[in-house]
Each structure stands twice: as C-alpha cells, then as structure tokens.
Chains A and B, each alone.
Chain A
Amino acid sequence: MRRITLWLLSTVSALVLLFSYRTSTNSAAPVVASSSPPAAAGQATYKGSVAQTRWGPVQVTVTVSGGKIVDVAVPVRPDGNHRDEEINAAALPVLRQEVLDAQSAEIDTVSGATVTSDGYRRSLQAALDAAHLS
C-alpha cells in the first residue's frame, strides 16, 4: 500500500510539474482555467493535462485563492476496480493533507536532498510553484 501511495504521489507531482513548465515557458497557451464559481473572487483552479499511466489516466487540479493553495484534487484517476478505489481512498487524502500542511506552515519553498528523478517531495515544491505561476 505504501509503495502504491508513493507512486500516486509521484505521478501527481510529475503532473503538477508538467503543467508548470508549460505555463512558464509560454510554449503554448496556458492550461490554466479559471473554473471556480464567480462568488469566490480571486480563486482559480489550475488543471494539469491528463496523463496516461500504466494504471490508467490521471489528472490533478490545484485550487488557489489569494496566492494560497486551498485544495488539491485528482478528478481523473484509475478507478476501474475495487482495488483502485481502495488505493485512491487512502492516497488522495494524504497528498491533499501534505500540501495543505505545508500551506498552513506558510512556507514559500522547500529545502531537501537533491532530486534528479521524479520524487514526490516535488509535489510540495511544485504545488508551491503552481500557486504563483499566473
């Protein structure tokens, strides 16, 4: 279970990075869409593109309000069978809580051992980056 959790988190972090690169290099129109209800002024939901993984398609969204991440969601994820659903039920709240914990510590950035491959630690840094890309 732990390993699968790690896989899901690293997938999510890779996705967050994916869309952050696209926005920062301006090589394409920003994928960012302000899809929040009009009532929540200054709130925006950043949508990653859908990535095909061996477990199925995955997509992550980060909701930002006033420069802070207020929610993390994975609206598209493998849930073809009972096992997938069980994994999602365990892993997704963990990711969401980790990102929100980092927010409540009000950190701007993360210092950690050098990352050369996709590590899920990046989900924290990438989420912090994503909150300020626009």
Chain B
Amino acid sequence: MTARRAWVEQIMGLPVSVHVRGADPGAAPVAEGVARVFAELRRADAVLSPYRDGSDLSRWERGELCLGDADADLARVVELCERARERTGGWFDPAGLPDPRTGRPRYDPSGLVKGWAVQRAARHLAGLDGYGWCLNAGGDVLVRTPAGGPPWRIGVEDPADPGRLLGVVPLCDGAVATSGSAHRGAHIVDPFTGRAATPVRAVTVVGPDLLWADVHATAAAARGPAALEHLAGHEALMITSSGRRLTTPGFPGRAAPLRCSPV
C-alpha cells in the first residue's frame, strides 16, 4: 500500500511543495528529510537572494565583501553562472539584469540559483529507501521514483489560461522547468539588447536535472524558437508570442513506463 503526503512552505518568495510517496510518508525519517530540504533552501536564500540587502550576494555586489570571504556557495554560483552563459551561447546571463525592486541593472543569478538549490537540497531525500518524491519550487519540478513505482505526472500549464494544461509529462526521474511571462509580465531580458525579451510566452524544458533544465528554459525564453536547436539532450515545448506550439522531436521525453525501473 502506497500513501502520499505533502508539505508546503513559502521560501525565496515562492511556494515550495514536497510530495512523498511510499509505505509510510508520515514516518519520522521522511519528515526530517523534508525539514532539511526546507532548511537548506532557506539558507541558500539568505546567502544568495537579490532581494535581501544583507545577503552575501548583495554585499559582494556593493563591494563590501570579496568572493573569498563570502559563503562558499556564492563563488560556486558565480562559477556555475559562467558555465551556463557559455553553454547557452550567452543567452543565459546574470549580468545587467534589472533589480527586482529598483529596475537598475545588476548581477542577478536567481535564474540559476533556484534550480541549483533545489537540486542540491533534494539530497536530503535521496536516502529514503523505497520512497518517491516530487519537489515543486514555484512551478519548477524535480522528481524521483523508486523501482516499481508509477511515474510522477507533471501537468504543463497553459500560459494563455493558467487554470488549464497544455499537456502532461510523465517522469520517473528528472526535472521539468518552465520559464515565461505568464505571471510576472515581461521579466525575461534579452542579454544582447538589454531589453525585455518577447518571442516566447512560455517554454517548458525536460531533462535529467533541474539546474540545467531551468537554465535552458530561461535562455530559450530570451532567445525564442532558435533555442530549440541548442538544448543539449533536453526536450522542450514552446509557445511563441503568436501562440504557435513548437516541440523538440522527442518531447515529452522517452515514453514513461507504467512502472519505473531502478535508477
């Protein structure tokens, strides 16, 4: 008998939910793992939030803290952002993004931090033998299924009508990230012009890990349909600003079995 339990907290300004499936999701080790996931995400937010004046990120940007003295996570994220910029041909770029509060250009790695932090925090659930879990941070999703379990079914929201679904991605292990303008207006910036990017309403990327699915979704939202040729093993569904529906040939990924095989 498989039971399921959910936890929700508001972290990084987003609703973060954890669903756990297994024999006894109410057991203490499960609750402890989930609590560690939330604690690690809160800590990442304290260090890396562009919204907090006292975060290591903000202090580093103002020149009050050098990278060597800051929390080691800051240097890790800066380095990962550089790799993300290279891998996306410059279409993911944290430099010169508008400050979420003032609109002034600044260094904002948020587009990478969420996926990276969630991916890393999920290690606290990895040791739960026989349990499957689904982490959803503001619409970006990471799942794991034990051998023999059913795949998680991830609905892809319709940007034109967020109460409805464009489709369903069944996934045993991996990530689904969506980027677009459905909820916050045009907040995606074209790094080559510095202006709001408009070619895409929403793009959903499926891949093995959330960090890169999220980076590719952010880059594709700025670049438009051409990005679908450069996804390095990821699958994607894109709705252009004119409402066209484009997918990579393999979307939504390998056909998921009724039961998942061992990882």
Give chain A residues whose Cβ lies under 8 Å from the Cβ of B184.
113-117
CB-CB under 8 A from B181, the residues of chain A are 113
Q: Which of A32-40, A52-60, A103-111 contacts B (4 or more CB under 8 A)?
A: A103-111
Q: In the complex, what distance in Å separates the CA atom of A111 from the CA atom of B183?
A: 13
Contact: B163 with A123, CB < 8 Å?
Answer: yes
Total chain B interface residues with beta-carbon distance under 8 A: 43
Q: Is A126 an interface residue (CB 8 A)?
A: yes
A67 at the interface (CB under 8 A from B): yes
Counting CB contacts under 8 A, is A71 at the interface? Answer: no
Q: Inside 8 A of B140's CB, which chain A residues have their CB?
A: 111, 114
Q: With a CB–CB cut-off of 8 A, which chain A residues contact B163?
A: 9, 94-95, 98, 120-121, 123-124
- Residues from chain A with a CB closer than 8 A to the CB of B17 are 109, 125, 129
Given A94-B163, A129-B8, A116 and B13 contact (CB-CB distance below 8 Å) = yes
At the interface, yes or no: A122 with Cβ under 8 Å from chain B? yes
Query: How many residues of A are counted as interface, with CB atoms below 8 angstroms from the partner's CB atoms?
Result: 40
Asked whether any CB of chain B lies closer than 8 Å to the CB of A15, the reply is no
Across the A-B interface, the 8 shortest Cβ-Cβ residue pairs = A112-B157, A121-B162, A107-B155, A132-B6, A98-B163, A113-B180, A112-B139, A113-B182
Q: Is the C-beta of B179 less than 8 angstroms from some C-beta in chain A?
A: yes
Question: Shortest distance in angstroms between B42's beta carbon and chain A's nearest beta carbon?
Answer: 13
A108 and B153 contacting across the interface, CB-CB below 8 Å: yes
Pick from A120, A121, A134 the residue with the most CB of B within 10 Å: A121
Task: Decide yes or no whether A85 CB sits under 8 A from chain B.
Answer: no
Known contacts being A105-B165, A119-B162, is A111 close to B176, with CB within 8 Å?
Answer: yes
16 A–B pairs (Cβ distance < 8 Å), ordered by A: A20-B6, A98-B164, A105-B155, A107-B155, A111-B140, A111-B156, A113-B157, A113-B159, A113-B182, A114-B114, A114-B183, A115-B183, A120-B162, A125-B139, A132-B4, A133-B5
> A115 to B138, Cβ gap below 8 A?
yes
- Chain B residues numbered 119-159 whose CB sits less than 8 Å from any CB in chain A: 134, 136, 138-141, 152-157, 159
Number of A-B pairs, beta carbon distance below 8 Å: 147
Interface of B: prevailing SS: strand
State the Cβ distance, B99 to closest chain A Cβ, in Å: 14
B19 close to A109 (CB less than 8 A): yes
A20: chain B residues within 8 A (beta carbon): 6, 8
- Residues of B near A116 (CB, < 8 A) are 13-14, 138, 183-184
Q: How far is the CB of A7 from chain B (nearest CB, A)?
A: 14
- Residues on B with C-beta less than 8 A from A98 are 163-164
